Each structure stands twice: as structure tokens, then as C-alpha cells.
Chain A
Amino acid sequence: MNSVSLKLREVAEVATTVKWNEPLLKVLEAMVGEGDEGSYRVVVLGPHNVVEGIITGKVVLEILAGWRASALRLKVGLKGLLKEPAHVFANEVHNVLPHWLSLMQTIKYMLENKLGYVLVVDEHTKLTGIVEEKTLLPYLVGRRYGIIVKKVMKRDLSMISPDESLKNALIKMVTRMRRHLPVVRDRKVKGIVTATDILSTIVDNIDNLNEVLNLSVRKVMESDVTYVAPEDDLGVAIEKLVKEDVSSVLVLSGDYVEGIITRLDAFLAAANILGASKVSSIIKESFSRSADSCALTR
């Protein structure tokens, strides 16, 4: 097999984008998407597809919680805010990489900086795609990593009761910088509520925002939680994250929440163990196999 690593232009996925002057509402819609098409990260493009910034679900939650753009909200109200151009709310991106860079070097860069994504641009700095943990993680399924979940999980959790309002969930996510809140009663797990769950509910009910924010967490949470045990191998967590297409798995001891592992935690831990070079060659082999099978089909 050719040892040259794949280039970013070969592996980058199409990024979800909005134009800089399109309204914030469009960003929300892009995040929620249809079916599985929603994206937590929406890239804001300038007039000629040059990257102007990025808006993540976290930023939108901050806006909805009144944490961000509060001055503008006073002036135009929440509905008015949704009509404001996207680039007002974007964050700058400082991990924009050239399309000729190798996947191996990129994974190394992501590991060094604990990044969940990089944006890929051409020689004219026009966006050509995105490489993110979500699309890399599936290549790491089907392995044992020799490290138990307990060693990788986050223990510093924010939890919420099923009876609390969505607004409270929103505030907890924003102030504690969390995207996933385990829902518990008497410390026993009842479900999980994620930033995406809240955003979807809001977008579906955008005209009744106040009512939506007063809904109880119970109405929105996912009660069929995906979980692993603290002593499970990291590979088990990766398998569940990928096969059940969830952004986090809870770590449970019986009914009690011990911790959480997100896609990013799992990707960084696994890639650290394997090394950037190995991850890159696993992905390359997989690319070669699918190219071969396409050739056979033809």
C-alpha cells in the first residue's frame, strides 16, 4: 500500500454553511436540518466563500439564553434577533488548514490542540470542506483500546431534573459550558437532554418561544439513553457513539451516572492511543477498500 497519507481535499466533508448576510434563523434551521442532515457547526461564509466565522450550537444556545447579543436583543427583541445577519454572531475560526495538508498532520494538529474540527480551504482561502471528529470516529470502531471508560470520561457533570424547565436546562448548558445534561431524579438516571434537542424544539416552535422555554425537560429529553459501564473498554463507547449516532454516551453504574463521554473525548482518547499515523492509515485503508469495491461494481 502507498504510504503517502491522504490529503485533506480527499477526506474533507461538505460543511454546513450560511452566507454572512443571511439571517440567524437560517443558522438554526441548518443546525436542526431534516432527518440526519443537521449540523452542530455552521460555517459563515463571506461574499466569495471565504470563511468569515463559525456558529456552533453552543453560541445559539447562548443567544437564546440572553447570554450573548443581549444588547442587540434589547433593541430588536428575540424575534428581531433571528432576522439579524449571521456574521454578527459568528466566532472567528483559527483552525483553517490548507487542502494539501495530509490527514496525518491534521490529526496530529487536532490532538495537540484538542480540536473537534478543522476547516479546509483551497489556495484562494475559499472553503472546501470540514474534517471533524464526527466523521473520523466511525473509522475507529471495532477495536479494543486497552483503556477503560472510567479513565476517559468526564466526571465534572451538570445534571438536571426532569421537572425543570427547558430555560433552566439552557442556562445550565451555557453557564457550565456543557452540551449534554444527564436528567436525574434522586441521582438515578431518567434520560439525557442535549443542546441539539433544545434547538430542535425551539425551531419547531419558533413562534411560541416563551411557551417552549417553559416546557419541562421531561417533554424533550431522550429517555432511552445510550450508556456504557465504567469498566468497559473505550472501544465499546466508540461503537455505541457511532452505531447509535449519538453525540455522547452516559457512563452508568446501575442507575447512577458516573460520567459522560462525548464524541470528541472518545476521538481524542482513541487517536492518542493509536497515534495520528495509525489513525491516518486506518482511514486510508478504508478509502482504498471502498475505491476497490466501487471499481468491482463498475
Chain B
Amino acid sequence: MVEVNVSDFSRSLSDYEPIIGSDEVKTIMSLAERVRGAKVIHVSATPYGGGVAEILKSLVPLSRSVGLNVKWEVIVADPDFFRTTKRIHNALQGDMEIKLTEEEIHHYLEVAKKNASELDLEGDVVVIHDPQPLPIIKFVTKRSSSWVWRCHIDLANPNPSVWTILKPYVLMYDALVFTMETYVPRDVKGPKVFIRRPSIDPLSPKNKPLSPSEILRVLNRYDVDPDRPILGQVSRFDRWKDPLGVIDTFKLVKEKIPDAQLVMMGVFAYDDPEGVKWYRRTVKYAEGLKDVHILTDHDGVGDYEVNAFQRASTVIVQLSIREGFGLVVSEALWKGTPVVATRAGGIPLQIIDGVTGYLVDIRDYITAAKRVVELMKRPWLARILGSNGREHVRRNFLITRLLRDYLRMHIDLVSNVATRPQLR
């Protein structure tokens, strides 16, 4: 069992008051009072890399700051397990070719069983994130808490052979949380369904304000010219993020703006065994192309560096083929950087086309490049879209909204709030 230490990210709700206002703080505290002391356990597959870890790094300390007793645990598993769960992930996202072997299914369940016995799952609410730890619920002998499965991926059109294996475990949960209504599989009937959008933390190391000198230092460290236009992309190395399409787009941009640079940043999450393969493919695909920087955590890229590059970029692209939500779009917009992105997952909610950025069809690299060039050539336009983007995120996608959503869900699920001793 691994409990993630989030003490580095400690902050309190009052820190957010200058951004969200005192009224919102007041109503959040009023909700939190109702579930003060409730023990909530989040279980995920990885402590870093990807949107889930990103959210939990902020949500866990913030929930603690309003009086909840929150833990975040990460499952222990071997590379074979993660190879299988990556295949499950791909199948659920719509890869119809995948068929799990008996051996894979057996190992998937064995790991769940082992984690069920080793994790601390005694609380008021247990929130299991994504398919990796999904079957743990089957192996828990004593279930006093409410169990929630938070599915961050789109299950609208899953591979039926894999979905059939997973569905019985999904139906064992008290509640399911999806990002969009359209992601809920039609044949899921029984558990409560909540629709909850993810959000960004404006005070996290990835999003907090940086000074120009801090940004310059990061650019210099990675040999990126601060005086030339930068096209940025932040994503795991994954086929669904279409990294090769980003390079194709950059080639087209380069024809019009020869001094443009491309910076692609990604982190290798250990639950993603395909990351290295896709990284290598991306590097190979970019061979011979000037001004391409492909950077990872192995090069020392972390939240701080991503923050600096998102701020320094002239334009950010996100050309995903499939997306859970695409929170990286809100991250860039929060920094006032305009985004050109595909109509995938929750991206169209974050981008008001022509107002906070531009939407393009999936795999339409020509239009994507055209939009990037437009924004590079017209700094005034980039500035307006970026500024609109920041306000759109402030109104709709800040972490305090997610905290409120979770508090309401806990109020919904925690039955013994009346008798709960006050911690204060």
C-alpha cells in the first residue's frame, strides 16, 4: 500500500479567497460543516502523471483544509498489470480489436484482490478512480462505507468484450461519477450517477503565477529561444493525444513561420507502459525537423517547467483523438495562452470557438496549422483570446467548484453526519 504524501501541496481554502471571493468561501464552509470529519479515501493507479493525479494533488489537501479526513492511496501492481490495464483503457476508449486473455483477466483480478487486503478502505466514502483499481470492491469483505467509482474516461462506445468483463464490478458501486452525460454507458442501471467536471487548481505549482525571470530561466535551461514564437503541447505520450499529428501540424506552421519552435512536454506515468513506446515514435517522427524540443520528466520537466512553458508559449495545441476532459486546455487558458484544440471530450466546453481559442476537427492538421499561424502572426488576437480564456476558466473550471461538488456528494452519501464528533 502506498499513501501519497500531499504535504508539499498544503494550502487552505482561505488562500483561494482572492481568486474566488469571500462569498464562495462562505458557502463552501457551510457545505463542509455538514460532513466535517468524514473519512474519505481516494484510490488511484499512480501518484503522478495524468489528470487524476493532478486533481487529487490539489483536492486532497483542500478537502482536509475544510475539515474532512481524506487519504489518497495508490495501488501496488507490477508491469504486467499495467500492460493489461492500458489495454483495458484503450478498449474502453473504443479500440475494438482488443480481446483480453484469461491470463490477463486473472492477473487483473489477483492484483485487485491483493490491494483490497492491503489498502486501508475503512472510511465513510471510498472513491476509486478509473478502471485500474475498479475490481477491488469485489474483494472487500466488510463494506461499511459508500463506494464511488470515478470514471475519468469516455465509456460511450466501449469495446463490448472488455466492457462485459468490467460491467459487473461497476454495478457493485453505490455511485458512479462521469465527466459528461454522454460518457455514461447506456446499459448501466442501478447505481446513482453523478456528472462532475474536473477543474484546475490556480495555486498549484503547475498553475501559480511565475515571474518573467523564472520563465526565462526555464527556457534557457532547455535551449528554447525566448525571442521566437513557441508552439506548446503538454500531454502524456499516447496515441489518443496524437503526438505525430502535432508534429505534422508544426511542419505546416513552419512553412509559414520558419522561426517557430515546437515544445512537446510529457511525463511518464508508471501506469502507462505505452508511454515510452509513443515517446520514441514521436522522437523518431520528428527526426531531421529543426526547432523541435521533446521534453519529459527524464529531462527534469515537472509541474514548474510545464507552468513556465505554458506561459511562454505563443499558442498551445491539443490535438487529441479522444479525451476524458482535456484539462490541459484550461491550464493553458488560465495562463492567458490561447489554445487550438480538437473537438474531443470536454475540450469544446473549455474553448468557445473564436473567443477563448479555436476548435478544429480531429486530424484536421491543415486547419489547426492555419489557426496557429493566425495567432502567431496576430499577437493582439492571441492576447484577447488568452485573456477571454482566463476569465472563462475563472467562471467555470476552478478547483473550488470541484470541492463543492465532492462535498455535496459526500453529504449525499455519508449517513452518519448527525452523530459525527466535531474535530474542532
With A105-B354, A112-B343 in contact, is A71–B414 under 8 Å at CB?
yes
Q: Does any Cβ of B come within 8 Å of A20's Cβ?
A: yes
Would you give the shortest CB distance from A109 to chain B, in whole angstroms? 5
Contact B343 A70 (CB under 8 A): no
B417-A96 in contact (CB<8A): no
Pairwise interchain contact B189-A176, C-beta atoms closer than 8 A: yes
A69 to B21, CA, bound (A): 28
A96 to B24, CA, bound (A): 16
Closest to B394 in A: A125
Task: Say yes or no: A46-B23 contact (C-beta < 8 A), given A71-B415, A89-B408, A92-B405.
Answer: yes
List which A44-64 residues lie within 8 A (CB) of chain B: 46-48, 50, 52-53, 62
The stretch among B1-9, B252-260, B345-353 that forms the contact with chain A is B345-353
Query: Cβ of A109 and Cβ of B411 under 8 Å apart?
Result: no
Q: Which one of B26-34, B95-103, B264-272, B314-322 is at the A interface?
A: B26-34
A46 vs B30: C-alpha distance in the bound complex, in angstroms? 12
Contact of B348 with A98 in the complex, beta carbons under 8 Å: no
Contact B396 A94 (CB under 8 A): yes
Q: Contact at B417–A71, with CB atoms within 8 Å? A: yes
**Is A112 touching B395 in the complex (CB atoms < 8 A)?**
no
Residues in chain B near residue A53, CB distance under 8 A: 404
CB distance from B248 to the nearest CB of A (A): 24
Say yes or no: A109-B186 contact (C-beta < 8 A), given A69-B411, A88-B34, A89-B408: no
When distances are taken between beta carbons in the complex, the residues of chain B under 8 Å from A91 are: 195, 405
Identify which of B30, B352, B401 contacts A87 (C-beta below 8 A): B30
Q: In angstroms, how far is the closest chain B Cβ from the Cβ of A252?
A: 24
Q: Which residues of B are found within 8 Å of A177, using beta-carbon distances? A: 181, 184, 193
Chain B's nearest CB lies how many Å from the CB of A75? Answer: 5
Q: Closest chain B residue to A102 by CB distance?
A: B355
Q: Which residues of B contact A101 (CB under 8 A)?
A: 352, 355
When chains A and B are docked, how far (Å) is the Cα of A20 from the Cα of B119?
38
- CB nearest neighbor in B for A75: B418
Other-chain residue from B24, B192, B412, B415 in contact with A50 (beta carbon distance below 8 A): B24
CB under 8 Å from chain A, chain B span 10-61: 21, 23-24, 26-27, 30-31, 34
Say yes or no: A112-B412 contact (C-beta < 8 A), given A20-B27, A46-B27, A175-B189: no
A residues in contact with B397, CB < 8 Å = 94
